[in-house]
Each structure stands twice: as C-alpha cells, then as structure tokens.
Structure 1
Amino acid sequence: MRNELKVQLPVPIDTKRYLMGKVAFVDVAIFSPFLLLSGLLIYLFYSCGILNKYTFIFSISPSIAIIAFQMIKHPVRKEISYLKYKVLWRYNYKQREKEFFYRKGAFDMADKQDARRKIGIKSTFADCYETNDKRFVRVFEVSSVNLSLANKPEKKSALESFRVFMTTINFLDSIQISQIAQPINLSRHLQHISKRQQGEESHVKRLLNKGYRNYIENIQKSRELVTRKRYITISKNIGSDREKALDEIDQLSKLLITKVESMTFDYSTLSVKQLNNDELTKLMYTCMDYDNAVSVGDYIIERANDRSSISVGENTAKDLIDVLQRQLTEKVN
C-alpha cells in the first residue's frame, strides 16, 4: 500500500462481545426467535405426520436466511451486517418523508413536517449547532493541500502525517470530515471595485466598471462555478449541564485545532477556522437550499434573523420605503 501512496485508516471500533469466532451475543439474540420458529414448525409437521424433506426445508428456511443476512458483513466496516445496511437501512431510506417545510416561530414538537425536525438542528448557540437530540456540534473550516503537484516523498510525508493524526486523536468517534460544494463568494472583490470606482470622473471608465460589476455578479449567480470547502465537525452530548458540555466541547476544539495545525506537509501547513453563529447559519442554508443560497448570497443572515411576519425582496423593500417616506412628507396634517 505504501507503493500506491495509500494509508490504512482505522475503522470504527467493534464494541460487540463475541460468543465464539465471528458469532456475537447480539447475533444469537437475533437468531433465537427464528430458530425457535423453525423448531416449532418442525414439531407441528412431525405431529401432523407430514414431515418430509420439503416441509423440513420450508421450516428451516427462515433461520438459514436470517443467519446468512446477519453473518455477511459490510465489505469495509465489518461490524455492520448485510441485514442492517442492505435491508433495514434501505427500507428506512425508502420510507422517509421526502417533502418537508420550514415555518417561522416557536418550534412545535408535534409538527413532523417542520424542516427543523428533519434536519435535526434546533438553533445556533455559542458557535455551535444545538441539535434536537441534545448535542452541541461545532464546525471547523480547514484549508487544503494540493498533492497532485507533489513528488512521492512529499506525498508519503503528507499521508503519514494524516495517518498519525487519525490514530493519535482520542475522540475519533465524534469527528466527521466532509467536503461541501458552495457558491463562490466575490463580495470582497466587488467592494474593492466599488471603492476604486468612487470619484471616477471618466464616463467611459464608469461604464467599463459597471459592466465588469455585472459580469462578476453573473459569475456569482452561476450554479456551474462552485468552491469546495473542507470541514471537520465534532459533537458533544449536552446532558443535564449545558455549561459543562460547552466547556468540554471548547477543550475538544482547542485540542483539534492543535492537532490539525501540527500536521506537517513539508513547506505548507493547514489552517483551521472555527465557524461562528452567522457562518453556521450560512452553511446550513447552503446545504438546505443551494439554488436560493446562490441568489440570496450575503443576505442569508438578514433573512434568517428576520422576525417580522412578512419577508420582501430588496427592490420591493426599497420601493416600499420610498412610498412611505413620500407619504410622510406629502401628508397634510
């Protein structure tokens, strides 16, 4: 595997207790009802005098099927059975509700159609997602290193550093690494162009700057141009003490940042940024509704924090303000 520049990463620890060989106690608990059913069918057929090879095969078929499904394991994660990931998980996936809606206001625990229940995020608090199952989830944006232009020693050093990170961190089970495509954000570039345009007297240059601004805005609205950002998330159960949970996730955050920043990639290093409440809201909105995230852009935070009973677009809001101001100035008392 070293010649192929691959690293064997640790898989989740199998916590099951085994009776003998690959047969765990939980497997025996799953087999038992079907074995009893097969025994009962054999006894009934024998009592009725119709026990033969066909009825015998019919009787033991449920037990053989469930044993086979339970003993066949996932090709990578050996602790997961075929029955679990190919039958139960697939059934739950097909039975899930495919349409849900978001309603502003207090969270109604009885409303199963509310998007907040489906997503599992209750609110953002102290730079964390607070989930419905009482967990704090903190998200970190991590820079990337381009290994495509590195030579073999540099690639081996980078992969070895990543392997050390994965094998030495003691809360690996609470870490999730993800890559999320997001619309590109050229707001700072547009602000720079607007600042340079101020005080420009040449009519031709103003037209050129205006055309360039429109070009940049069209790029931002394009769904084909995206940026891929890398994130690491950690979670901590809240339990009965919220302050204690926040302190513990703060300690985990500091340890995670130290571990990531200590990874060496020859002349390059990784930078880690902890997302604040506004950035968490934007990330959640982008994952929920990518198309609207492209068009809304930086106004996501304003819309998320809007507490009025109605929401209007930017142009409509300006027209409404102009009408109200005109009515106030022209009204005769």
Structure 2
Amino acid sequence: MLRNLALERKEQLRNELKVQLPVPIDSKRYLMGRVAFIDLAIFSPFLALSSLFIYIFYSIGLLNQYTFIISSIPSVAIITFQMMKHPVRKEISYLKYKILWKYYFKKREKEFYYRKGALNMADKQDARRKIGIKATFADCYETTDKRFVRVFEVSSVNLSLANKTEKRSALDSFKVFMTTINFIKSIQFSQIAQPINLSRHLQIVLNKQKDEENLAKILLNQGYRKHIEEIQKSRDLVTRKRYITISKNIGSDRERALDELDQQSKLLMTKIESMTFDYTSLTIKQLNNDELTKLMYTCTDYDNAVSIGEHILDRASNRSSISVGEKTAKNLIEVLQRQLREKIN
C-alpha cells in the first residue's frame, strides 16, 4: 500500500515537472524521545537562571506562585521554542528557523558592489569577497582561498528511455571513470539552470530576412523576432547544463599550479570522451574566460542575467567609472558629436 502511494506521488510530481527533495539526515544524538544532547546544552543556562531567581526570591521571603511563574518564564520559553520543530524538516527547531535565522537575515548586509582592480579583503561590500572569486585568469576562476578552478561543460545521456542493458553499460562506464581518475577528490559535478539563449537563432533569422521586400513577410518577421526576444526574457523557460569543475591549490608557484591543472584538464577530457554509452557518447568543452564570466553572473544574479543576456560581457569588461544604459549612451554620443561639429576653435 505504501509503495503504491509512493509511486503515485512520484508520478504526480513527474507530471508537474517537479522533484521531491530528500529530507536531510538528522545527525543529532538523542538522550530520550525527542530530547537531544544539544537540547540539554541549550536548556541548561536558562534552567540555571530560573533556579537562581527562585533561590533569590526564596532567600528574601518573596517566593510565591507569581514569583515562581515569573522565574520559570525563561526556561519554559526556551524549552517550548526548542522542542517545536519545523513542519517538514524535523531536525530544525522553531528557535532556529523562526527566530535566529530571521534575526541573522535582517542583520546581514544586503547590498554588494563589484569593484574593479585589485581585491581588498577588508572591503566587506565587494561582491568578489562574498562569492570567493577574485577574477578569471587563464580560463580559470582564481578564488580568494588561493585556488585555480576550471569548469567544463558536459553533454548528457537520457537514461530514462534506455533499456536495462544500456543502463548497466552506462553505469559501468561511469564506475570505471570514477575509479581510474587519480584526482577524484578535486572533482565536483553540478547541474545549473540558465536562461535560454536564442541569440544565434535570432542572428540566422535576421540574415535570412535581410533582403526581404514583401511588406507582409516583413511584418510577420518582425513579430517573430519580437516573440523570440520575449522567450529569452522569460524566467520560466530555462535550460539545464551539466558542468564538471576541478581545482588546484596555487601555493607559491602559479605557473606550476597552472601546468598541473592543464595536465589534469587534458586527462579529464580524455576520460569523459572515452566513456561509451552504446550508440552515444559524451562531449566535453572547457569554458574560456568569457564563458566563465557569463556563468558566474548567471549563478549570482539570475534575474538580471535573463534580461541583460549577451550584454553581460560588455558590462564586465567596461572600464569606465560611469555605467549608463543603452539609450542614454546613444543620446550622450549624439550630443558629443554635435558639440564637436558646432564647436568654434
């Protein structure tokens, strides 16, 4: 019965294009029932405080039911908040997710700025300090903890339509990859949702429509281009890309670290391309500096990445101390050109 319900729930989520995230394992050690050792550590100071108040009231002869209740308020409140749990994640207490987390959220810094030039670790509002990436260098991320991180985009294989033999072959091939590569501890697999990029398709459409003279077709083509642009700006339409990242500590010799990372990169690409899945195979591509910049921008500011699109690189490489919008920039250029033409020397 339970298995049927689980299968029905899984099928329902699949139809809704959703997945059910597994509940994290509760690593706390429990003394009895729902009381964990960490709970006792949190209760103890407040129980001691209540006991102290009761003793003081008793010493001066003012202990009664009212003073006893007042003395017990700290202990009762902390025990209640600690024993109340999150409705889904039972290992998280009400005190943690409703009080402490909200307090930290309100107190944290919410505005960060991208500073150009050398990174000053004392500048708390520099976005690079928070995300841990100083710059892109030699097709790598250079991090604030002195590592070079290289990112590879990898194609995917749809195993949901494969038979048992094909699935077994794919899993065996992946097992060989995992057991034969000697720097497995520095490898990270990730799947990142990104806005759909139809710029290449739009350019092809523009090239085909360049010499069109029929007014009806011109209007139809304009509507189609507008439709493509609206698709690119939509947050609901995304593509999921798979990445593999490897890292190398820089140490005292940057050139040596880069050489070792290059060797690992070549080995990784060879291993991935040699993985066989019957009639299909994987392709892998190393991201260059521009592609790393786009990926970083998309991961840190997805909403603006959707609207800005291909202009991310223009903004990242802009060395001016002033940034203006496209329309403002055009108006400014026209004013400056007019002043140059009309200026009397």
Structure 1: unaligned runs, 5 residues or longer? 1-33, 35-81
- Is this contact kept in 2: 1:139–1:234, CA < 8 A? yes
Task: Give the number of aligned pairs.
Answer: 246
**1:102 aligned partner:** 113
Which residue in the other structure is 2:318 paired with?
306
User: Is 1:143 aligned to 2:144, yes or no?
Assistant: no
Alpha-carbon distance in structure 2 between the residues aligned to 1:92 and 1:316: 42
Q: CA deviation at 1:94?
A: 8.7
Which residue matches 1:50? Answer: none
In structure 2, relative to structure 1, the CA distance for the partners of 1:314 and 1:238 (3 Å cut) is same
Give the alignment partner of residue 335 of structure 2, picking from 306, 323, 329.
323
Q: Secondary structure at the match of 2:327?
A: helix
Summarize deviations over 1:243-281 as a string: whole Å, max 9, x none.
Answer: 000000000000000111111100000000000000000
Assess, with a 3 A threshold, how the Cα gap between structure 1 residues 169 and 98 changes in structure 2: closer, same or farther.
Answer: farther
**Cα pair 1:154 1:266 within 8 Å, conserved:** yes
TM-score by length of 2: 0.68
Q: How does 1:201-240 map to 2 (within 5 A)?
A: 201-240=213-252
Partner of 1:41: none
Alignment partners' CA distance in 2, 1:94 and 1:268: 52
- Taking the aligned partners of 2:103 and 2:254, their CA distance within structure 1 comes to 36
Residue 46 of structure 2: aligned partner: none
Q: Partners of 2:101 and 2:273 in 1: how far apart?
A: 39
Aligned partner of 1:158 in structure 2 is 170
Aligned pair 1:169/2:181, yes or no? yes
Shift of 1:102: 1.7
Contact map agreement 2:115 2:126 (CA 8 A) in 1: no
Cross-structure match for 1:292:
304
**Mean alpha-carbon deviation: is it higher for 229-238 or for 199-208?**
199-208
Match of 1:242 in 2: 254
* Structure 2 unmatched runs, 5+: 1-40, 42-90
With CA pairs under 8 Å and 6+ residues apart, which has the higher RCO, 1 or 2? 1
SS at match of 1:112: coil
Shift of 1:112: 2.1
Q: Could you tell me the percent identity over the aligned residues?
A: 74
* TM-fit CA distance, 1:328: 2.3
Return structure 1 stretches of 4+ with deviation > 3 angstroms.
Answer: 91-98, 330-333
Superposed CA offset, 1:92-148 (max 9, x none): 999684624024233222112321111100000000000011100000000001111
> Which residue is equivalent to 1:116?
128
**CA spacing shift, 1:256–1:186, aligned 2, 3 Å:** same
